[in-house]
Structure 1
């Protein structure tokens, strides 16, 4: 899309404001409130700027950022590519939901279907080191919510995030990936194929300038966008110190609903969810619970919510009856059933391959269906 001279000039001013060292979202918003658009900020003198920010920052604003022309050229070239857009706080298409949060991003780099940023959205987050059941829950809940027309927002991380995006892509609601790098970088690299699918059927969004690498502080910060775009946040699995709890806290501060899926009292990845539930998060067992809580149109959960390849007849007989949803050690199973270890190992492997149980470290197993 060819840029008009005025549009080019406006983007240049916004990018310069973003790139000025020491200017964060808060100081940028103060400057915008005082002077108007970024071009008017840079037209102001040092004395006027110093009434809003420190004299040192005023001096930085009046000096061109280092390598600015190179960053501008890269940004303009990126924006020319199909389905790439840059939205600023002054853009009419900037998502209204983000204008409601305390710290809206100055600029959004969007790749894919930018219209999804205005859709009814549910955030689905959780552990990077998720269990098999956690992955299934994330994908199945997201697929059901997407089939009801809700967009799924998450962070493109490994584990729960990736499963949530995959589930979201199966329905009309689709998915939004909010990333902690520049929009021209895929992190983690293992999610490259998934990122391409999201760019084609959903959208990828970042507040960070092009070329920004994976820096640890950026990931907790982007969580406010994941929750800010959404009506509520579903935490699928989370350890007691999980970053997902940061997203849940931000959601509560933003006035969004917080939902959590309970799990085994023995699982470290259930402790974060249980903590949220004790603090007032809504306990949910199905996507329907979320839709009802948000007073959205109800749906009939499909066979996607049932474990793959498992029937009532197979799940209620034999060895599987001795395995609960809490972990049990192989030796205990041998004691209960009288089956020798070699035969037991064979049967356990068969059940695992059928998706009926999960093998845990240390010789433990737990039931999935």
Structure 2
């Protein structure tokens, strides 16, 4: 048995979640050692009764590990455990991190810098528009957008990130073989090509009322901040916001009309201390405040947008120095037309590679 297979076996065990597994690992050291432990050894650990101890020690009769591995292989999925370098570091530090992530697509280290986006399944035109604007801007700046593939706000967030040619992660509340909602299968396929669809559940686990709130802790825990776009007072998004707060994440909320129940949840979050945002720049500026760059040793590797530059963007970026450069000098140095330069400068600003100064001057920021 490989180490990854041992992690998967622990994840498949009924009534043994991440918190209990942490206790087992603290006692036995490795997942392989946990699976080889006798019931009498497990009973020595506080919080484990006879039924649980016997179930763990007889794990081979409790789960179908070979069957699950076969399903994973047939669907061309990959497994990421807490020991893998691609496992999101912020997620690893929450109280109950998933033991295993089943991945459709590909995770990269770029996905460690991410923002969660949540909101109502029954979104209004206002909510969908705000989601698309914010998610596009943030994904364009190089942050991965993490959401839950649900109808409404989640769907708009994923689609906007894809439109920006950015990264997006869909965390689903079911197994990969029971993807929900089914009408988002085409969207999931697109996400898998430029991001990943992720689940902590066995391949054939259907969604239910328990899996969705549990799924939301991953959306909140994966990200350095959580954006709540639109939700009523009774909403799963507010539960996710509470989880984000408990995990030490910054919560951002989009304000809405005070006479609209669909915005009551966001307005209440702002009232309770969430940061009001109206534009992607509000979030990006706040993140730069939370994670400032040192003057002599900027943390370029961690915070540089990872999206590749187009030919025009590369030409303009090289035409701008760390000193102030007037737009006329940029046009002359680049050889591009005035209209092309103006449009491309805006894109470089959104990617946070340059900053606009008074007098139509620009400066390279990294």
Match of 2:254 among 246, 250, 261: 261
* 2-structure distance, mates of 1:193, 1:39: 38
* 2-structure distance, mates of 1:254, 1:190: 32
Q: Secondary structure at the match of 1:68?
A: coil
What's 1:309 paired with?
A: none
* 2-structure distance, mates of 1:230, 1:45: 38
* 1-structure distance, mates of 2:249, 2:63: 38
Normalised by the size of structure 1, how large is the TM-score? 0.75
- After TM superposition, where is structure 1 displaced by more than 3 Å over at least 4 residues in a row? 64-67, 79-82, 296-302
* 2-structure distance, mates of 1:144, 1:132: 18
* 2-structure distance, mates of 1:92, 1:188: 30
What's 2:213 paired with?
A: 220
* 1-structure distance, mates of 2:74, 2:346: 42
Match of 1:20 among 13, 28, 46: 13
Q: Kindly indicate whether residue 270 of structure 2 is the aligned counterpart of residue 290 of structure 1.
A: no
Q: Kindly indicate whether residue 50 of structure 2 is the aligned counterpart of residue 55 of structure 1.
A: yes
What's 2:341 paired with?
A: none
Match of 2:72 among 71, 78, 91: 78
Equivalent positions of 1:92-171 (< 5 A) are 92-115=85-108, 118-171=111-164
Match of 1:40 among 24, 28, 33: 33
Deviations 1:22-49 (A, max 9, x none): 2121111100111022221122222211
Q: Kindly indicate whether residue 33 of structure 2 is the aligned counterpart of residue 68 of structure 1.
A: no
Q: Secondary structure at the match of 2:108?
A: helix
* 1-structure distance, mates of 2:242, 2:143: 22
Q: Secondary structure at the match of 1:184?
A: helix
* 1-structure distance, mates of 2:60, 2:163: 44
* 1-structure distance, mates of 2:14, 2:106: 31
Who wins on radius of gyration, i.e. which is larger?
1
Structure 1, gaps ≥5 residues long? 1-5, 305-369
What's 1:182 paired with?
A: 175
Name whichever of 113-122 and 98-107 sits farther off: 113-122
Deviations 1:325-351 (A, max 9, x none): xxxxxxxxxxxxxxxxxxxxxxxxxxx
* 1-structure distance, mates of 2:262, 2:19: 35
Equivalent positions of 1:183-202 (< 5 A) are 183-202=176-195
CA change 1:255–1:29 in 2 (3 A) is same
Could you tell me how far 1:208 is from its partner in structure 2? 0.9
* 2-structure distance, mates of 1:282, 1:238: 16
Deviations 1:303-338 (A, max 9, x none): x9xxxxxxxxxxxxxxxxxxxxxxxxxxxxxxxxxx
* 1-structure distance, mates of 2:188, 2:231: 23
* 1-structure distance, mates of 2:165, 2:156: 16
Normalised by the size of structure 2, how large is the TM-score? 0.75
What RMSD over aligned residues (CA atoms) do the two structures have, in Å?
A: 2.2
Could you tell me how far 1:20 is from its partner in structure 2? 2.3
Q: Secondary structure at the match of 2:59?
A: coil
What's 2:227 paired with?
A: 234
Structure 2, gaps ≥5 residues long? 289-302, 306-344, 351-366
What's 1:321 paired with?
A: none
Paired residues in the alignment total 294
* 1-structure distance, mates of 2:93, 2:4: 23
Q: Secondary structure at the match of 2:179?
A: coil
* 2-structure distance, mates of 1:235, 1:268: 15
Could you tell me how far 1:140 is from its partner in structure 2? 1.5
* 2-structure distance, mates of 1:66, 1:180: 26
Equivalent positions of 1:353-364 (< 5 A) are none
